[in-house]
């Protein structure tokens, strides 16, 4: 079973429990049994699942909970916490420090997204004020150096490689030495992902590692490989001291089984790749991950992204509106304008449950943009009163007919737009009373929202 299915099954079990009129032993057991079934189907070890059940039952002692207690919330919180515990990855063997030279060697099979991820990793750190550099020690694949060079040039990151030299060890050593001299604090070495024989690939990796003495070996893995993830990770670990893992292609459809497998084996996943673009890359953090898995939205990631992509001068206004929780059609209009104007802001909204998945599904950006433009044309035919009201009852039949006529659109389309508004307003309303965090206060916010 893949991640999305697992998340869906668990959230359905939680929802059913929430819908029950009375929460008693039977309802709790049914909910836990459903979750157990989903986890076992996802190949989670029986012992882990049984321990989780026992822990939840210990925490949620229905007899001891007085009538006033919100049992639903206590059960949900216990399940959330246990899932976080179960999926919490181990710690990486080393964490580079800004301003202090570190060598990070990337390993992984060809096609896993290794070269792309090297640049994403460099770019992520560069944005945070680091001085990264890229070394291409993949001499096996024709075009590997070109790809790295192109990516690096685009991101304005210094790089090193050669079209002539065929010895990857030599290139790796030269590159690392050169960037050490240039005081780069994050020297990233990309290695080959394929060879004529597997043994030769691992031998080459070992040699590059011995020669460059990396502080951290990062294993890059495609999340879609599912159950094979564990074996693949083991094979790499046997040749080099893998210290951390990056899981790529977490944006793919019905994928992610590999990520689950790695997390369950406590492999230290530190980042995830969520798309082909340079900035589709996120720090892996178990709480937002589980929140998203269960469709609860990733509040901390959302606030992080706001700080990252919304222009500074627009941030206070947007955050203020968020904390007021009053989502009017005018706010929707303004956010649509933002989405159309600045690509990355769309990413901000993809962090909210239901926002982007339905409004702007990946791979269908063109259609989504057309839809947003259509909605905006209809809103252009609205009065100020309609735009500034958050009372859904205001939009009666005659107003809807007037808007349809005015914008030359179908009645059905106006209704669809208003439905979309209602859906977004519901999500937005969850932000009401939000304490607006400053940078660096995100995890506290995440705790609050998940509580």
The yes or no reply on residue 258 touching ligand GDP (CB under 6 A) is no
Query: Nearest approach, Cβ of 148 to ligand GDP (angstroms)?
Result: 9
The yes or no reply on residue 146 touching ligand GDP (CB under 6 A) is no
Among 96, 132, 243, 273, binds ligand GDP (CB under 6 A): 273
Query: Nearest approach, Cβ of 115 to ligand GDP (angstroms)?
Result: 3
Rounded-to-integer distance, Cα 371 and Cα 409, Å: 12
The yes or no reply on residue 409 touching ligand GDP (CB under 6 A) is no
Rounded-to-integer distance, Cα 106 and Cα 122, Å: 12
Rounded-to-integer distance, Cα 25 and Cα 23, Å: 7
Among 274, 328, 347, 356, binds ligand GDP (CB under 6 A): 274
Strands, sheet with 186-191, edge to edge from the N-terminal-most edge strand: 159-160, 132-137, 186-191, 102-107, 216-222, 242-248, 269-273, 281-283
Query: Nearest approach, Cβ of 255 to ligand GDP (angstroms)?
Result: 9
The yes or no reply on residue 226 touching ligand GDP (CB under 6 A) is no
**129's torsion region: left (phi>0), alpha (psi -120 to 50) or beta?**
left
Among 11, 53, 81, 110, binds ligand GDP (CB under 6 A): 110
The yes or no reply on residue 255 touching ligand GDP (CB under 6 A) is no
Interacting span for ligand GDP (CB under 6 A) from 55-63, 72-80, 105-113, 204-212: 105-113
Which are the contacts of 390, defined by CB distance < 8 A and separation ≥ 6? 326, 327, 328, 425
- Structural contact between residues 75 and 28, judged by C-beta atoms closer than 8 angstroms: yes
Site mask, ligand GDP, residues 113-142, x = CB under 6 A?
Answer: xxxx--------------------------
Give the residue closest to ligand GDP by C-beta.
273
- Structural contact between residues 145 and 161, judged by C-beta atoms closer than 8 angstroms: yes
Among 7, 161, 193, 301, binds ligand GDP (CB under 6 A): 193
Site mask, ligand GDP, residues 297-316, x = CB under 6 A?
Answer: --------------------
Interacting span for ligand GDP (CB under 6 A) from 45-53, 73-81, 107-115, 129-137: 107-115
The yes or no reply on residue 256 touching ligand GDP (CB under 6 A) is no
Return the DSSP state at 164: S
Query: For residues 191 and 450, which CB has a smaller minimum distance to ligand GDP in the complex?
Result: 191
- Structural contact between residues 257 and 224, judged by C-beta atoms closer than 8 angstroms: yes
Element (H, E) at 132: strand 132-137
Q: What sign results for the dihedral spanned by CA atoms 375, 378, 384, 388?
A: negative
Q: In the chain, what is the straight-line distance between the N-terminal and C-terminal CA atoms, in Å?
A: 28
Give strand pairing partners of 242: 217
Residues of the shown chain interacting with ligand GDP in the complex, contacts defined by CB under 6 A? 108, 110-116, 193, 248-249, 251-252, 273-276
């Amino acid at each position: 079973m893949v991640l999305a299915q697992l998340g869906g099954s668990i959230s359905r079990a939680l929802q059913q429990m929430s819908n029950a009129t009375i929460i008693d032993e039977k309802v709790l057991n049914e909910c836990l049994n459903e979750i157990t079934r989903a986890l076992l189907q996802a190949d989670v070890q029986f012992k882990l699942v049984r321990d989780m059940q026992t822990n939840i039952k210990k925490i949620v002692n229905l007899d001891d909970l007085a009538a006033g207690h919100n049992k639903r919330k206590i059960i949900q919180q216990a399940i959330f916490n246990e899932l976080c515990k179960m999926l919490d990855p181990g710690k990486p063997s080393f964490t580079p420090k800004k301003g202090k030279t570190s060598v990070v060697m990337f390993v992984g099979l060809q096609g896993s997204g290794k070269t792309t991820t090297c640049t994403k990793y460099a770019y992520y750190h560069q944005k945070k004020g680091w001085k990264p550099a890229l070394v291409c020690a993949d001499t096996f694949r024709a075009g590997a150096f070109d790809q790295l060079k192109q990516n690096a040039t685009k991101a304005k990151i210094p790089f090193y490689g050669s079209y002539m030299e065929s010895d990857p060890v030599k290139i790796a050593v030269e590159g690392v030495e050169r960037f050490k001299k240039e005081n780069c604090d994050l020297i990233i070495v990309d290695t080959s992902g394929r060879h004529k024989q597997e043994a030769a690939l691992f031998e080459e990796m070992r040699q590059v590692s011995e020669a460059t003495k990396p502080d951290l070996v990062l294993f890059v893995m495609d999340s879609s490989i599912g159950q094979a993830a564990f074996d693949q990770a083991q094979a790499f670990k046997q040749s080099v001291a893998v210290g951390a893992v990056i899981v790529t292609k977490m944006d793919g459809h019905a994928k992610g089984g590999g990520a689950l497998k790695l997390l369950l084996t406590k492999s230290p996943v530190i980042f995830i790749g969520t798309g082909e673009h340079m900035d589709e890359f996120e720090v892996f953090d178990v709480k937002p991950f589980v929140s998203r898995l269960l469709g609860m939205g990733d509040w901390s990631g959302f606030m992080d992204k706001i700080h990252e992509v919304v222009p500074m001068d627009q941030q206070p206004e947007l955050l203020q509106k968020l904390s007021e929780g009053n989502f009017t059609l005018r706010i929707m209009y303004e956010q649509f304008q933002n989405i159309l104007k600045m690509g990355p802001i769309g990413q901000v909204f993809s962090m909210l449950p239901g926002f982007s998945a339905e409004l702007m599904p990946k791979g269908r950006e063109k259609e989504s943009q057309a839809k947003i433009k259509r909605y905006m044309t209809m809103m252009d035919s609205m009065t100020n009163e309609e735009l500034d009201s958050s009372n859904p009852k205001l939009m009666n039949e005659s107003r809807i007919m007037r808007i349809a006529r005015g914008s030359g659109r179908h009645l059905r389309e106006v209704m669809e737009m208003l439905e979309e508004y209602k859906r977004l307003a519901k999500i937005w309303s969850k932000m009401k009373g939000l304490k607006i965090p400053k940078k660096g206060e995100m995890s506290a916010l995440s705790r609050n929202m998940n509580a």
